[in-house]
Structure 1
Amino acid sequence: MNYADNDIIDNEAIHNFEFFVDGHRSFIDYKTRDNRIYLIHTEVPEELEGRGIAGVMVEKVLTYIEQRDMKLVPLCAYVKAFLKRHPEWNRLLA
């Protein structure tokens, strides 16, 4: 299944990027400081595991960061692993 049409939602009140699929909420915790965004933790519910949701979500968040000219500080293990597999995104690193 393709989730390209699903939007990432910046829920600033709770510092989460949210991604909804089939009524389930996946998210990435973040903090911002001095035009840097720290991606802290990625979570996908069990119901959605194994469907590539985390990768799609991370890519959408990286696009969001780039569009706002922010710099990335990856603290999340999943985001770090994603960057190893997709080094073209290293251009965002602080």
Structure 2
Amino acid sequence: MQDKNPIIKLYGAKGCHKTRFYKEFLEARGLPFSFLDVIENENYAEELRSLYESGKLNFPTITIGTKKLRNPRTDELNKWINKLIPSILEIQHDKENHQFVLDINGEKAKVEYQLKNDKMYLVHSEVPVQLRGRGIGKVLVEKTFEKLTEEGYKAVAVCSYVRAVASRSDKWKSIIEH
């Protein structure tokens, strides 16, 4: 699921304490990123200047795909990482409400199911409107498949979207019926 993640770049300087903080932050999250030292490499400096109308060397700056964050607070950086790279999030199995939930900054994407004869019938999937079009649905469904497999369930894809995701990969044939 990591293959479609946006590219992360950290523009900064080796000697800058804020740059070091962001480097450690991204490494701790296990996120692949490029560190571009704008003091030691003029090409990186020019690339950074081109991101700003002023043409100034505003660092540290982090880009996640096309999203540009200039010296972001930790909560803001986390918010954008969660929104733009949902594959790093943990899926939760809410057994009481018969659903698998991916919490993206308080917004809940979910796959609902019904249990019958020791099988999960995956009946509905939903991604909040404001998060659609970012591949979150596919991540949600694949993480659901992984979690139910981990928990020892077999499933039947009733929801058309869940069925479509299941049919795109032989990986799920042994646990997901169509």
Q: Normalising by structure 2, report the TM-score.
A: 0.50
Identity %: 30
Task: Give the whole-Å Cα distance in 1 for the aligned partners of 2:150 and 2:92.
Answer: 14
* 1:66 Cα offset (Å): 1.1
Q: 1:69 aligns with which of 128, 131, 152?
A: 152
SS in 2 for 1:14: coil
Query: Which structure has the larger Rg over C-alpha atoms?
Result: 2
1:34-53 CA-to-partner distances (Å, cap 9, x unmatched) read 32111000000111001111
Q: Which runs of 5+ in 1 are unaligned?
A: none
Task: Give the whole-Å Cα distance in 1 for the aligned partners of 2:138 and 2:168.
Answer: 10
Task: Give the whole-Å Cα distance in 1 for the aligned partners of 2:136 and 2:176.
Answer: 22
Residues 166, 176 of structure 2: 8 Å contact kept = no
**Aligned-partner residue type, residue 77 of structure 1:** S
Task: Give the whole-Å Cα distance in 2 for the aligned partners of 1:35 and 1:90.
Answer: 17
Q: Normalising by structure 1, report the TM-score.
A: 0.89
> RMSD across aligned C-alpha pairs, in angstroms?
1.3
Q: Which residue of 2 aligns with 1:27?
A: 110
Residues 124, 158 of structure 2: 8 Å contact kept = yes
* 1:23 Cα offset (Å): 2.1
Q: Which runs of 5+ in 2 are unaligned?
A: 1-83
1:60 aligns with 2:143: yes
Residues 121, 155 of structure 2: 8 Å contact kept = yes
After TM superposition, the runs of 4+ consecutive aligned structure 1 residues lying more than 3 A away are: none
Q: Which residue of 1 aligns with 2:162?
A: 79
